[in-house]
Amino acid sequence: VGCWRTFSYSLALNMIGPVLILSLFVAAAASGQGYLISQEEFSAIQGVESGGCRDPLTAVGDSGTSIGPYQITRGYFSDAASFNPSLLNGGNTWESTKGPGSLEFSQMVMQSYSNRYCTEARLGREPTFDDFARMHNGGPNGHRNPNTLEYLERVKSFLNEEQQLYTGSADCSQAPQMEQENHGSRNQGMNVLLLFILVLLVTFAAVS
């Protein structure tokens, strides 16, 4: 009996190692590594998001809901941080994606977002930069949203250019100014529509 017990313990110990390694392998495969974003691709996204700003690091858009060089929203940050809690080390918050040091930190946030959503396990195929860029713009399912295609083309126009940080002349540090720039074409369209309605009213009054 003693020999059998010793053999059983020895067999159990010998099995624990391989089983534990296999479990870790399965867990890693299930979580998966998201699309690995290159520096060139980070720069291309920044070119679209804040490339027209005098200081992209302090850019504020969408009435204050998108901030920093990559215009990251609070929800985007929360998704990334819940998947990778180490982003919160040192007291980092959503606001850390704006201001000094925000370029590198935002890139960590974006890679974590990719690791959560832009994976082979989730997409059923190998993810691409196109997938991630569209998710960055349209959320976890942005790669399937046709409204993100125009954004993707704008991002691609910045690829293959050797530049780390794109800058412009606009002051994007205040939300109202950013909003005016983003929605100027919409306001112009509204003015044209109002003018058309006014012409119709005058014509109708003249006929009457």
- Amino acid at the residue 9: Y
**Can you tell me which residue has the tokens 């974003």?**
37
pTM for this structure?
Answer: 0.70
Q: Which pLDDT score, from 0 to 100, does residue 194 have?
A: 58
Over the stretch 21-68, which tens digit does the pLDDT of each residue have?
344 334 434 455 999 999 999 999 999 999 999 999 999 999 999 999
Q: Which pLDDT score, from 0 to 100, does residue 161 have?
A: 75
Residue whose C-alpha is closest to residue 56's, from 3, 98, 13, 2: 98
Tokens representing residue 11 in the block: 């067999």
Q: Which pLDDT score, from 0 to 100, does residue 12 have?
A: 45
CA gap 130, 107 in Å, rounded: 17
Whether 80 contacts 87, CB under 8 Å = yes
Residue whose C-alpha is closest to residue 118's, from 59, 41, 40, 26: 41
Tokens representing residue 114 in the block: 């990719």
CA gap 115, 71 in Å, rounded: 19
Collect the ranges in the chain with pLDDT lower than 70: 1-32, 175-208
Q: Which pLDDT score, from 0 to 100, does residue 178 have?
A: 38
Burial status of residue 176 (CB atoms within 10 A of its CB: 0-12, 13-18, 19 or more): exposed
Catalytic residue positions?
A: 49, 62
Q: Which pLDDT score, from 0 to 100, does residue 198 have?
A: 60
